[in-house]
Amino acid sequence: MLSTKFSPMSKEEVDRKWWEIGDFFRRNSLWMLMYCTGCCAIELPPAMTSAYDMERLGMGPMATPRQADVLLVTGYLSLKTLRRLIYTYEQMSEPKYIVGFGSCTINGGIYHDSHAVINQLNKYIPVDVFVAGCMPNTEAVMNGFVDLMDLIKNKKANGWKDYHERYEWYLANQKAALGEVRVHDEFHE
């Protein structure tokens, strides 16, 4: 017999409900910050324009990290740009997600033996979705976005939480890659 009595939800439950509602909005309105350092960036224009029209998914480009929800790392990252990527990532408002493009972000790709390029992006910042390929074609990119939406729906896009929890680990990796001076301005070195 179902109880007709109103049972107040616990605070956690309320928060969870709100979070689910929030997730609905978030996955349907993913605003991207495109960190176009590598060649994979060339896949974004067809994805945005009339060929694939990512606006269907509610996605759109944004100008600054403050406004964006998802950071697109499109290809290889040199050490210099890594610093800036981390800075940019830390400026984004939570919840925030990262999509890594191409093999360069997964294992260094064709630059795997370069002294100036990092090989594995998710050692430094938490990547939620990788889009494999060198470079991935546009369908793959779109697929990656849909995957991200699914992850958000299933509450599995938790990279930003992971960054909080394992910050020491990330920090250690960042330091190892960048040297003791983690971030510094070339004007002031």
Partner 1 sequence: MTVELLILVALASGILAYFVGRLNKVLGAVVTIVASMFIFIMIGYMMQDINAGTTFNYNAVEYMPDFVTFMVTYLGLFFAILVTFIFAMVSFFNPFFVEKYKYPALYSMLYLFSLAGVLGVFLTDNFMVLFFFFEFIVWSGLFLIPLGKNNKAAISYYAFSTAGSFALLYAIFIMFAQTGSYNLHLGLATVSGTTEGTYVLALLAFAAFAKLGAFPLNVWLPRALGKAPDAITAVFSGGLEKLGAFVAVLALVKLAPIGDIAGTLGGLTEATFLFASQYIVATLGAMTIVFGTLMAIRQDDAKKLLAYSSMSNGGYILVALSLGGTLGLSGGLYHIVAHALASAAAFLAIGAVSRVTGTTKMSELGGMIHKMPVTYMVYLIAIISMAGIPPMGGFISKWLIFQAVIDNGLILIAVAVFFGSIGSFLYVFRPLAALFLGQELPQHRDKAKEAPFFMLLPMLILSGLIVFTGVMPNIFLDFINDVIAELGGTGLLLGDYTITGVNGVLQPTLIASVFGVGVLIAFIIFILLKKSKKVGLMDTYTAGNFIYTEELMHYSLDFYAPLERLYEKHINITKDFYKKLENKVVDFGRMIKYFFFTNKPEITVFWIIVLIGFLLWGEL
Partner 2 sequence: MIDILLMILTGIGVALFGFVLQTSIAGVNRKVVARVQKRYGPKWYQEFLDIFKLLSKRSVTHGWIFDFGVIMALGGIIGTAMFMPLTSSFMAFDGYDNFFIFVYLIAVGMLGMAMSASGSGNPLASIGVMRALTTMLAYEVPFMIVVLTIIKITGTSSLSEIGLFQQVAGNSWFFIALPIGGIVAVMALMGMLGKKPFETYIAPAEIASGPMVEYGGKQLGMLFIMHEITVFIEVSLFVHLFLGGAENIVLFIVKYFVVYTALNIISSVYGRFKIDQVVLFFYKWPLIMAITQAFIAIYLGWVI
Question: In the structure encoding, which two tokens stand for residue 130, read together?
Answer: 């990788």
Stretch of 3-11, 83-91, 111-119, 163-171 lying at the interface with partner 1 (CB under 8 A): 83-91
* SS3 of residue 89 by DSSP: helix
How many residues lie near partner 2 (CB under 8 A)? 29
Question: In the structure encoding, which two tokens stand for residue 79, read together?
Answer: 């050490």
Stretch of 17-25, 81-89, 122-130, 181-189 lying at the interface with partner 2 (CB under 8 A): 17-25
Task: Please tell me the distance from the alpha carbon of residue 105 to that of residue 107, in angstroms, as a whole number.
Answer: 6
- Which H or E element spans position 44? helix 44-48
Task: Please tell me the distance from the alpha carbon of residue 88 to that of residue 82, in angstroms, as a whole number.
Answer: 10
Query: Is position 26 an interface residue for partner 2 (rule: CB under 8 A)?
Result: yes
In the set 19, 87, 167, 169, which binds partner 1 (CB under 8 A)? Answer: 87
74: number of Cβ within 10 Å:
26
Q: What residues line the site for partner 1 (CB under 8 A)?
A: 64-66, 81, 83-85, 87-88, 91, 183-185, 187-188
Instruction: Please give the residue ranges that form the binding site for partner 2 (CB under 8 A).
Output: 18, 21-22, 25-26, 28-29, 31, 49-50, 53, 55-58, 61-69, 91-95
